[in-house]
Chain A
């Protein structure tokens, strides 16, 4: 009798332990499998999505360079260039449409999600240079922290080149193209130097004028590591943005900014730097008040000019020299402005989509070519939280 009671007690305990064990183990089993399958499915979707973005031209194939831009005309999304069958070659006109605040029209994130059929998912798409170009102390180069200082007639620039993990890159070639204006003249100087063992490049350039005569300065750095180049546009914080420079296909379009003066403005000359670092003149006005190059400052689109064949030179950065009244109260003078890629193709990280990465996101990376220069394209994809 006593034995039977013990038997029952032990049996109940064992059954309880087994029940608790089953309750703990079995859900783990199914959840782990579901998670693994889910993750695999997410990776497959991300890979297909990334291939679509980088290898497909989209429909219409020139959707990035259609002006005026209309989202409803796009039936398929893709960033590949239709001009060349080379893989991972992106069309700069299409990439530009992803920039927030593009004066000529942008493609919003939700519209891209709809075109890609990505309901229920979120993504972040990044295009970054393959290495870092920063100030010497590692801070990001921007208008508040330019790597240039002007003392007397000496322009000093100091940059640091490093891998994305922060390790310095010695012997990187730093080519600087300095554009500056005085009241009545425009100058271009070029200099080059290599980084030292700590990845630093410090160089002095002697200008033809003293600092108080100089009205505007722009320095374009082209930094090359093992023939892979990136470009950084920098200017002094006092520079006034007279116009936004946009390139759509073969057409340069100047749009109004909040700093555009209401007085007459003319373009005196235009130059550009190609992907392989060549400096080219686009045009020179016959006079400072050449009517062909006068801006309609009352309109949003102030000026446009079409230059057939321009895109074949892979222009990365334009510098336009204006004859205008600046807001510093120094009267009319020549002023240089750079564009259109400084926000996207240079130092700044081009970031598109949802910036808050979700749980369990997957990541893919490829190297891509835009305007003859190599960039790193990165995609993060995750499921929307319910």
Chain B
């Protein structure tokens, strides 16, 4: 009888240790990873905008150049998916602007999303108000 008690007691302790071991797994800090990707995405869009390239690509619908610019400026292991919207919410880019595997965005635990606004563009003699919203999704491949 005491053997059974000892076995039961030891099982309880073994389970407790196993549970403690589960607790020992390092936290994955998804919030931190997403914040870092958001900062990176905003940094790249901001840099392109400051150089006057972002508006040029978006209003000329030069999606291949926009994709290439994002690709050279973001780290190799970071996948991106960019969608450009009109102010009424319809999509501007008829072709997807992405790098990496598109499934990554549905399977990855840490997907960051950055929204960036462009208010318009200027020509030789006038400034045109024509807002666009860019939504850049980022995930590590």
Q: Which residues of A are in contact with B by a Cβ distance under 8 Å? A: 6-7, 10-11, 14, 17-18, 21-22, 25-26, 28-30, 32-33, 35-36, 39-40, 43, 47, 86-89, 130-131, 163-165, 169, 225-228, 364-369, 372, 374, 376
Which residues of chain A are near B7, meaning CB under 8 Å? 14
Selected from A29, A88, A365, the residue in CB contact (under 8 A) with B75 is A365
Which residues of chain A are near B43, meaning CB under 8 Å? 87-88, 366-367
Q: List 8 A-B contacts (CB under 8 A).
A: A10-B3, A28-B21, A35-B26, A130-B72, A226-B65, A368-B47, A369-B47, A372-B51
B126 within 8 Å of A (CB atoms): no
- In angstroms, Cα B96 to Cα A237, docked, is 47
B6 & A11 in contact (Cβ 8 Å cutoff)? yes
Which residues of chain A are near B27, meaning CB under 8 Å? 36, 40
A-B contact count (CB 8 A): 101
CB distance from A5 to the nearest CB of B (A): 12
A163 & B17 in contact (Cβ 8 Å cutoff)? no
Selected from B26, B36, B50, B68, the residue in CB contact (under 8 A) with A225 is B68
Q: Which residues of B are in contact with A by a Cβ distance under 8 Å? A: 2-3, 6-7, 10, 13-14, 17, 20-21, 23-27, 29, 32, 36, 40, 43-44, 46-47, 50-51, 53, 56-57, 64-69, 71-73, 75-76
A226 & B40 in contact (Cβ 8 Å cutoff)? no
With contacts A25-B17, A26-B20, A227-B69 known, is A369 near B26, CB below 8 A? Answer: no
Selected from B24, B50, B69, B76, the residue in CB contact (under 8 A) with A28 is B24
A22 & B53 in contact (Cβ 8 Å cutoff)? no
- In angstroms, Cα B51 to Cα A226, docked, is 12
CB distance from B102 to the nearest CB of A (A): 19
Select from chain B the residue with minimum beta-carbon distance to A89: B50
B50 & A86 in contact (Cβ 8 Å cutoff)? yes
With contacts A18-B10, A226-B65, A374-B47 known, is A33 near B75, CB below 8 A? Answer: no
Selected from B14, B17, B24, B72, the residue in CB contact (under 8 A) with A226 is B72
By Cβ-Cβ distance, the 4 closest A-B pairs, closest first, are A36-B26, A226-B68, A226-B65, A29-B24
Which residues of chain A are near B72, meaning CB under 8 Å? 130-131, 163-164, 225-226, 228
Most chain-B Cβ atoms within 10 A of its Cβ — which of A28, A86, A225, A367? A367
- In angstroms, Cα B56 to Cα A227, docked, is 10
Select from chain A the residue with minimum beta-carbon distance to B9: A14
B21 & A29 in contact (Cβ 8 Å cutoff)? yes
Selected from A7, A40, A88, the residue in CB contact (under 8 A) with B29 is A40
Select from chain A the residue with minimum beta-carbon distance to B20: A29
B47 & A88 in contact (Cβ 8 Å cutoff)? yes
Selected from B50, B64, B76, the residue in CB contact (under 8 A) with A165 is B76
Which residues of chain A are near B36, meaning CB under 8 Å? 47, 364
A22 & B17 in contact (Cβ 8 Å cutoff)? yes
Which residues of chain B are near A25, meaning CB under 8 Å? 17, 20-21, 24
Q: Supply 17 further A-B pairs (C-beta < 8 A) apart from A10-B6, A164-B72.
A: A7-B3, A11-B6, A28-B21, A29-B21, A33-B26, A36-B26, A43-B32, A86-B50, A88-B47, A89-B50, A130-B72, A130-B73, A165-B76, A225-B69, A227-B69, A369-B50, A369-B51
CB distance from B79 to the nearest CB of A (A): 13
Which residues of chain A are near B24, meaning CB under 8 Å? 25, 28-30, 32-33
- In angstroms, Cα B7 to Cα A10, docked, is 9
A228 & B69 in contact (Cβ 8 Å cutoff)? yes
Select from chain B the residue with minimum beta-carbon distance to A26: B20
Selected from A26, A163, A227, A365, the residue in CB contact (under 8 A) with B65 is A227
- In angstroms, Cα B32 to Cα A40, docked, is 9
CB distance from A50 to the nearest CB of B (A): 10
Which residues of chain B are near A372, meaning CB under 8 Å? 51
- In angstroms, Cα B47 to Cα A366, docked, is 10
- In angstroms, Cα B25 to Cα A169, docked, is 42
- In angstroms, Cα B68 to Cα A365, docked, is 18
A6 & B3 in contact (Cβ 8 Å cutoff)? yes
A365 & B40 in contact (Cβ 8 Å cutoff)? yes
